């Protein structure tokens, strides 16, 4: 029975297994693991009915349900699928490959580029000044930038602190940094409704998580209540960071 089994069949099986595993991870991260289990049970019943028992009428009904169900799942999990595709597209190896094809070189991050951000965050942390700084990666944040005020200035510690000063008209929004320059401030970010976010984290943290889930941007949060510094990146929080830890994350992820 294994005479016709070839390398191509092995690759086929491995690819299907990988797809199922990634789907499982996607559902687990979004809290939809029960739906994933139900889908697997439905597929199992469909295969038994149509392939093993060869029930033509019931099999045809299941076929129709599967064709409609795929579209329904895409609509139902459009945010999770978008996040998965963003993660796939922002993968370092794929990014390097596309930059090689397009001839675009990745900007090299120097310590001098991130130190004004780190020093400003530490200063605002001591004074418990709330701040939200978003650093653009490969995905353009044009729609978000249009919601704020264009600054177009060099990254400067004093400027960052002045923008987030409590009496500043722009302190409530997010600052967008693009190509090592402050592009805009007072911007509105998409808010995450993820139920797994700790309740003690406020609206700034939810906005930071939202932009990190929908794009490949990195968001820095300074809490107005505690002065704690956090980073949201790729749908994950890094909480209660020191200056060294923040510097390391910015240097690594830039």
121 and 63 within one domain: no
Let me know whether 58 and 147 are in one domain. no
Within-domain flag for 87: no
Last residue of some domain: 26, 54, 76?
76
| CA dist 140 → 81, 134, 144, 147, 208 (Å) | 19, 12, 9, 14, 16
Range of the domain at 45: 7-76
* pLDDT recorded at residue 187: 96
Is position 104 within any domain?
A: no
**Residues linked to residue 236 through DSSP beta bridges, in sequence order:** 233
Boundary residue ending a domain (25, 58, 76) = 76
Per-residue pLDDT of the chain (254 residues; tens, 9 = 90+): 445 667 887 888 888 888 878 777 766 655 556 666 777 787 788 778 777 777 777 777 777 777 777 777 777 666 666 666 665 555 554 555 555 555 555 555 567 789 999 999 999 999 999 999 999 988 889 999 999 999 999 999 999 999 999 888 888 899 999 999 999 999 999 998 887 888 888 899 999 999 998 888 999 999 999 999 999 998 889 999 999 999 999 988 55
pLDDT tens across 47-81, in order?
787 777 777 777 777 777 777 777 777 776 666 66
Kindly state whether residue 84 falls inside one of the protein's structural domains: no
Mark 197-236 as b/e (b = at least 16 C-beta within 10 Å).
beeebeebbbbbbbbbbbbbbbbbbbbbeeebbbbbbebe
**Segment holding 237, helix H or strand E:** strand 236-238
| Per-residue pLDDT at 37 | 74
Whole-number pLDDT of residue 1: 47
- Specify if 20 maps to a domain: yes
Residue 94 in domain: no
Same domain, 52 and 117: no
Within a domain: 190: yes
- Is residue 228 located within the same domain as residue 152? yes
Verify that 221 and 131 share a domain, yes or no.
yes
The predicted structure's pLDDT at residue 12: 85
Burial of 176 (0-12, 13-18, 19+ CB in 10 A): buried
Residue 2 lies in a domain: no
Specify the pLDDT at position 105. 53
For position 122, which CATH number holds? 3.40.1700.10
Query: Do 155 and 58 belong to one domain?
Result: no
Same-domain status, 69 and 151: no
Is residue 242 domain-resident? Answer: yes
Number of domains the chain contains: 2
Q: Are residues 58 and 178 in the same domain?
A: no
For 144, the 3-state DSSP assignment is helix
């Amino acid at each position: 029975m294994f005479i016709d089994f070839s390398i191509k069949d092995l690759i086929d099986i491995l690819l299907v297994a990988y797809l199922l595993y990634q789907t499982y991870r996607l559902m687990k991260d979004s809290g939809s693991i029960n739906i994933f289990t139900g889908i697997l049970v439905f597929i199992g019943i469909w295969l038994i009915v149509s392939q093993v028992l060869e029930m033509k009428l019931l099999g045809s009904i299941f076929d129709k349900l599967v064709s409609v169900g795929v579209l329904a799942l895409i609509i139902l999990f459009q945010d999770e699928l978008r996040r998965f595709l963003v993660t796939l597209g922002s993968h370092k190896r794929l990014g390097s490959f596309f930059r090689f094809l397009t001839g675009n070189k990745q900007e090299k991050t120097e310590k001098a580029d991130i130190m004004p951000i780190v020093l400003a965050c530490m200063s605002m942390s001591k004074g418990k000044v709330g701040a939200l700084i978003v650093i653009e990666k490969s995905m353009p944040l044009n729609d978000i930038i249009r919601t704020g005020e264009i600054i177009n200035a060099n990254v400067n510690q004093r400027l960052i602190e002045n923008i987030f000063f409590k009496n500043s008209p722009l302190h409530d929004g997010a600052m967008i940094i693009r190509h090592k320059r402050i592009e805009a401030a007072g911007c509105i970010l998409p808010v995450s409704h993820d139920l797994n976010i700790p309740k003690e984290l406020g609206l700034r943290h939810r906005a930071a998580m939202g932009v990190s889930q929908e794009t490949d941007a990195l968001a820095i949060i300074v809490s107005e209540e505690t002065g704690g510094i956090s980073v949201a990146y790729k749908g994950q929080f890094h909480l209660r960071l020191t200056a060294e830890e923040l510097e390391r994350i910015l240097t690594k992820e830039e």
